[in-house]
Structure 1
């Protein structure tokens, strides 16, 4: 049993939402056999009862993570998510200026998992994927990164309408605005700049809002949170470099 606690953003008799920090796995995984910290186990010990994770959140992604507190609620919520009735909103820091809101309608090649897909033999066709994005702020830092004399970034809001692996990260790469701190789909030079200059060693992507029909009351419920203090402090330190905001 661990003494570590996860911030609870919302809780009732049937569901609980916590803020998962960047770098924490949701549950045990062959990805890292030596890891000993998992959101499921920490929350189970914290609440003193079994919990049922209702969706995935990649290890480097921070933000809202939803659990059911009983099997009946888990079944009802899983059916709702399979019907694509849950709405999620994210915040992300990306390279370059994103000047206008838009929607990405771009198929993504299925990303094989060597563990989950170990027995798969058939090829998987590219999957439809849709994401909305909108700019919230622009920053221009007076540092040369790569071939440019200054470093430009955008703070974005994003909503995925499908649930493909790394969808938002891959869609922003498709737009040539990769997320800062993304070691898989990002820009290594900008990742290194933010890491070394501002001591930020993480993916700058956070789930800040989830909306769904409560499985018991049937009423629409929206759960929201602010970004964590590490990202907040970085953006505050960048205020002198702010060139535009909504």
Structure 2
């Protein structure tokens, strides 16, 4: 399937990555032929080099470079928190109107086995800000509760630690809907039953702001929500409580 290109020049290309697609093959998924890197190489006719990452289940803005040097320059902006990343996510429970989760995170390394990620090294600073856009109360039993509370959030992570948003909201006791690693199995079970065709990790990289690594011009990229996210949000409108 052709990727939706949000921006392209001689140095960079940005796409709206669909959920379920790897950015590139990994040691644990090297037999998979399909990934953003391979699709973009075929689509643009050029080699592309990853600048940052999005989890497999996450959709949204993803930037790649056409040379290692450009990739290195732009990656430095991410490493130094000079970019602005905005996400949207659906979480369990009611959240405050706005807040900041300031909780250090240790490095995660991918590994084989039942526990897919191994925590290694010392904890590093990690900060995630959020604004609640809406909240919902569904008359659907979940575990020992007779209803399901959800919040739709706009989220801005200051850094880009692996699984930062997903780990932070688990720590905040508001795990993401559809998160098989850090989520609530009771919420996920019910959500999969009521939104069977649209069920997915409810996390989307909506926009990204950075300076062009060659021209230094400010660039803002925005990615539309997928049909599955729109379908779920439309169904949730009936149950808004704010």
Structure 2 gap ranges (5+): 113-119
> In structure 1, what is the equivalent of residue 202 of structure 2?
204
RMSD: 1.5
Q: Which one of the candidate residues 99, 103, 123 is aligned to 1:102?
A: 99
User: Quick check: which one's strand share is greater?
Assistant: 2
Report the alpha carbon displacement of residue 192 of structure 1 after superposing the two structures with TM. Answer: 0.9
Alignment pair present for 1:236 and 2:234: yes
> In structure 2, what is the equivalent of residue 118 of structure 1?
none
Report the alpha carbon displacement of residue 112 of structure 1 after superposing the two structures with TM. Answer: 3.0
Pairing of 1:1-246 with structure 2 (within 5 A)? 4-114=1-111, 124-199=121-196, 200-244=198-242
- Residues of 2 paired with 1:52 and 1:125: CA distance? 29
- Residues of 2 paired with 1:201 and 1:102: CA distance? 27
- Residues of 1 paired with 2:106 and 2:29: CA distance? 24
Rate the CA distance shift 1:215–1:204 in 2: closer, same or farther, 3 A: same
1:135-189 Cα shifts (integer Å, max 9, x gaps): 0111111111112211110000111111211110010011110000011110001
Tell me the secondary structure at the aligned position of residue 123 of structure 2.
coil
Report the alpha carbon displacement of residue 207 of structure 1 after superposing the two structures with TM. Answer: 0.4
Tell me the secondary structure at the aligned position of residue 238 of structure 1.
helix
Report the alpha carbon displacement of residue 79 of structure 1 after superposing the two structures with TM. Answer: 2.6
TM-score by length of 1: 0.90
- Residues of 1 paired with 2:162 and 2:142: CA distance? 29
Tell me the secondary structure at the aligned position of residue 189 of structure 2.
helix
Report the alpha carbon displacement of residue 24 of structure 1 after superposing the two structures with TM. Answer: 0.6
- Residues of 2 paired with 1:78 and 1:141: CA distance? 42
Q: Where in structure 1 do 4 or more consecutive aligned residues deviate above 4 Å? A: none
1:37-85 Cα shifts (integer Å, max 9, x gaps): 1100001101111111110111111111101123332232123223221
TM-score by length of 2: 0.92
- Residues of 2 paired with 1:201 and 1:235: CA distance? 12
| Greater mean deviation of Cα atoms: 160-169 or 75-84 | 75-84
- Residues of 2 paired with 1:110 and 1:81: CA distance? 16
Q: How many residues align?
A: 234
